[in-house]
Amino acid sequence: MTKNMIIIGAGIAGLSTGCYAQMNGYKSKIFEMHNRAGGVCTSWKRKEYTFDHCIHNLAGTGIQSGLRQVWDELGALIGTSVIDHDLFVRVEGSKGETVSLYTDLDRLEKHLKGVAPEDSDIIEQYIKAARSFVNFDFFAMPLGGIKRKFGMLTHLRGVMKWSKLTLPDFARRFSNPFLRKAFSHFQYNIDGHYVPMLVHLVFLAGLHSGDLGWPKGGSLEFSRRIEKRYLDLGGEVYYKSRVLKIIVEDGRAVGVQLADGTEHLADIIISAADGYDTIFRMLDGKFTNKLIRSYYEAFDESQDFGLTVHMGLNRNLSTEPHAITLLLDKPLVIEGEERDSLYLELFTDETGLASEGKSIIKVVTTGNYEYWKKKRGNLEDYRAEKNSVSETIITHLEKRFPGIKEQVEVVDVTTPVTAERFTNNFHGWQPWEPRVEADKIMRKGLSKTLPGLQNFYMVGHWAGAMIGVSTVALMGRSLIRDICKRDKKKFVTSVSAAR
């Protein structure tokens, strides 16, 4: 007898879960609170510009990558091209100093030695470390297989070594003042103290191998292609259908209740929605443990990528790097706190997000939920503060891009409260690093199942306490594989005929 599944949330995790469920003979429905697919993996139009919220570098775009198999199964890259940049980021100092993180390791080594010849030995160690991971298909490890497990074992010493060091730890080895300062900003300008060298080196290795590209058209189009694959497989999506409660009978999840009062029953319930909302509202906090509770109690006030300023420009920026980190000589004051750097992503007409001759600058920095939640209490104050932030940033960017003030045609500021409104994510955030039992969570996830509740599963960022588009797509695949095993069915996949 065919089993029915209800999936809560049509983000990448929910869509992936639905696709693999349909491939394996399960009948699934997705209920989504928003009016479109994608969740956090989204974009939106402002005048003639498309502002992209999500994808920076997508693991699995390379033909040789093991993850490419997953995107082919999900139809995620059908009908589009992948943009592979020759530069990951350029870090620019206030006195004209620059260092470019090229994606080709030979070119990078030559460039860094030109910037800091006195650090040639350390630079060689750095490049050698990145090269050691070139043949390590790190992002595809969750796919399993003997070959991948063996590959992990052969790289285990390097994994252990480089996971213990952060970017600032390694930066202190350089004697060149600017390289030492710039190095900590190499990974999306995230505070380097939170970035293990292992993550950075794996990124460099992947970029060198031709992976981690950017799908033309952006995040929403990426999500819509997976949505189409799901629908083509026979799945059903119901939009503007917010789940209020998960119906539980005798310790078993049996259905969901929507905001309109209707109830829908199924054999298996899967939440790909916000973790806090799922556990503490839909299930009234009845199925938790100390680990889950401690995780949700240990969030920070601010989070990376929390505040974004998009600018649509009547200007061609095709000669500029696609990503720039500006190190500021005089800090900017945003949210009442000083910021000594800004991370910029640039999108030209080549990306499909801007019309010919025009461009977009996306400035990403940390955002404080409580700060913006208080401002949101008065819409006039909230909007005024957003305008103030954008004006502060544009005024500063005038130094780097002379004339930009007059070229800005549209501005859009997103805060943690914006993200909360549109995605229902806890405080508008992505999952944060676990404070307790981090190793256990890294191995097993946080809440893929819940104690005392049967017929229920979670997938997505919150279930794994991990970030990444490919991560959540793999979680959906892995869950259906595990359900098939439990049901004594062979797990099967297929590639879209439109490939």
Q: What is the pLDDT of residues 24-35, one digit of tens each?
A: 999 999 999 999
Number of domains comprising the chain: 3
* pTM value > 0.85: yes
Predicted confidence at residue 145, as pLDDT, reads: 74
Residue 66 in domain: no
Residue 23 in domain: yes
Q: Is the pLDDT of residue 443 over 90?
A: no
Q: Count of residues for the chain?
A: 499
Same domain, 306 and 453: no
Same domain, 192 and 283: no
Predicted confidence at residue 498, as pLDDT, reads: 62
- Which residue, among 304, 303, 301, 309, has the nearest Cα to 388 in the 3D structure? 309
Task: From 375, 393, 423, give the residue that closes a domain.
Answer: 423
Q: Is the pLDDT of residue 499 over 60?
A: no
Same domain, 307 and 419: yes
Same domain, 323 and 419: yes
CATH number of domain containing 267: 3.50.50.60
Residue 327 in domain: yes
- What is d(CA 335, CA 305) in angstroms, rounded to the nearest whole number? 14
- What is d(CA 475, CA 481) in angstroms, rounded to the nearest whole number? 10
Tell me phi and psi for residue 333, to 5 degrees: -100, 115
Q: What is the pLDDT of residues 378-426, one digit of tens each?
A: 999 999 999 999 999 999 999 999 999 999 999 999 999 999 999 999 9
- 415's CB contacts (< 8 A; 6+ apart) are 306, 307, 367, 372, 386, 428
Residue 114 in domain: yes
Same domain, 327 and 286: no
Same domain, 174 and 235: no
Task: From 208, 235, 257, give the residue that closes a domain.
Answer: 208
Give me the mean pLDDT over the 313-338 stretch. Answer: 96
Q: What is the pLDDT of residues 272-285, one digit of tens each?
A: 999 999 999 999 99
Residue 61 in domain: no
Same domain, 288 and 306: no
Same domain, 376 and 316: yes
Structural domain of residue 135, as residue ranges? Answer: 99-208
Same domain, 358 and 395: yes
Give me the mean pLDDT over the 212-219 stretch. Answer: 97
- Which residue, among 437, 440, 445, 435, has the nearest Cα to 466 in the 3D structure? 445
Q: How far is CA 411 from CA 53, 133, 399, 437, in A?
A: 14, 40, 18, 42
**Where are the alpha helices (H) located in 242-400, listed in sequence order?**
275-276, 290-296, 369-376, 379-400
Task: From 382, 405, 423, give the residue that closes a domain.
Answer: 423
Same domain, 333 and 252: no
